[in-house]
Amino acid sequence: MAKFNMETADKYGGSGAGSSFFSLKNDKDTAVVRFMYETLDDIEGYAVHEEIVDGKKRYVNCLRNYNDPIDKCPLCAAKHRVLAKLFLHVFDVDAQEIKVWDRGKTFYSKMSSLCARYNPLVSTPFEIERNGKKGDTSTTYETYAMDTDDVTLADLPEKPDLLGTLILDKTTEELQTFLDTGTFDEVSPRTDNNQYRRRSAAPNARGDRF
């Protein structure tokens, strides 16, 4: 089954061109979206680390559950801060495409309030309004319900996976290497250039990575 964006997703920066993050840049900017959920149960939080990868801020999946020992995740063990995030899938009605709205976990109570009133949530479009100037860290967002209709999730494109795309999903070993070297890049043993081709044994243990 083909995954939306799978081929190119790793090329996306956290907020660079082609990324699908939802944003309202200026005070009083608005957009109409549908939250792509039926109930609160559909909304998942993610524990992530924010790391600089290839010069860009990227989210990296934390490998530790809250009750796991600290060394389950090399980034936690290195005392990198864990962020509890909501990455909400929203369908931007004007742009007619899925975007991801990056919110702190406190936004969960907002979503809880909306889900309690609109069920299924996806059937009510909301106008989102930004209140706060560019760069203002106390910016808030108001949600104004529009007319409920009969749109369901089945009417919208499939939600893309976040893990492995917008959120880098790495192994313990890869995270350790990242800490040691500052990069996820490896010297590729599969280059077309003979000069760099490894001639000796050691097959690539992860030949399928992209």
Backbone angles phi, psi at 180, to 5 degrees: -75, -35
H helices within 97-156, ranges in order?
Answer: 107-117
* 167 is a site residue for Zn ion (CB under 5 A): no
Among 24, 43, 76, 98, binds Zn ion (CB under 5 A): 76
Among 43, 62, 88, 114, binds Zn ion (CB under 5 A): 62
Q: What's the closest the beta carbon of residue 64 comes to Zn ion, in angstroms?
A: 5
* 73 is a site residue for Zn ion (CB under 5 A): yes
Distance in angstroms (rounded) separating the CA atoms of residues 170 and 176? 10
Q: Which stretch binds Zn ion (CB under 5 A): 13-21, 23-31, 36-44, 55-63?
A: 55-63
Which residues are within 8 A (CB) of 172 and not within 5 positions of it... i.e. 6 or more apart? 63, 72, 73, 74
Phi-psi region of 133 (alpha: psi -120 to 50; beta: other; left: phi over 0): beta
Angle subtended at Cα 173 by Cα 168 and Cα 176, rounded to the nearest 5 degrees: 85
Q: What's the closest the beta carbon of residue 208 comes to Zn ion, in angstroms?
A: 24
Site for Zn ion in 86-125 (CB under 5 A): none
Q: Which stretch binds Zn ion (CB under 5 A): 50-58, 69-77, 125-133, 154-162?
A: 69-77
Ranges assigned E (strand) in the chain? 30-35, 45-53, 56-61, 83-92, 97-104, 126-131, 140-145, 167-168
* 75 is a site residue for Zn ion (CB under 5 A): yes
Closest CB to Zn ion among residues 67, 195: 67
* 33 is a site residue for Zn ion (CB under 5 A): no
Closest CB to Zn ion among residues 4, 46: 46
Q: Which stretch binds Zn ion (CB under 5 A): 20-28, 56-64, 115-123, 155-163?
A: 56-64
Total chain residues near Zn ion (CB under 5 A): 5
Percentages helix, strand, coil for the chain (3-state, rounded to 5) are 20, 25, 55
Q: What's the closest the beta carbon of residue 167 comes to Zn ion, in angstroms?
A: 12
Q: What's the closest the beta carbon of residue 32 comes to Zn ion, in angstroms?
A: 36
Closest CB to Zn ion among residues 32, 82: 82
**Cβ neighbours, 10 Å, residue 99:** 19
